[in-house]
Structure 1
Amino acid sequence: MTSTQITPSQRAAVVTGASTGIGQATVRLLAAQGWRVFAVARRADRLQELAAETGAIAVPTDITLDDDVDRLLGIVADAGGVDSLINIAGGARGAERMVDAKTADWDWMYQANVVGTMKMIRAFLPMLREQTDGGTVLNLTSTAGMVSYEGGAGYNAAKAAQRAMTRALRLEEAEHGVRVVEVLPGMVHTEEFSLNRLGSADAASKVYDGVEKPLTSEDVAGIVAYAVTVPHHVNLDEIVVRPLAQAAAHKVIRKQ
Structure 2
Amino acid sequence: MDDVFKQMTGSFFSPEIQGCLSVVESVAGYKLAAADRQPFLYFHNYLTNPQPDFITAWRGDPKQEKWYHRFANGISGDVQNTLACVLYHHDRLIDIEREVMEGIERFNYRKVLGNSTMALGNTLVWDFEYQAFILAVRRCLDYLARAISAYFKNDFHSFRKFGGFLQKQNRTVATARLIELHKKYSAEFDFVLSDGDRKSIRDKISHYEYVPVGCINLSQRGFMLAGGGEELGIGGKNGSALLSEVLNRHVTNLRGCVREFINAYVDGMRADQSAKNV
Instruction: Determine if the TM-score, normalized by the shorter chain, exceeds 0.5.
Output: no
Larger radius of gyration: 2
TM-score (norm 2): 0.27
More strand by share: 1
TM-score (norm 1): 0.28
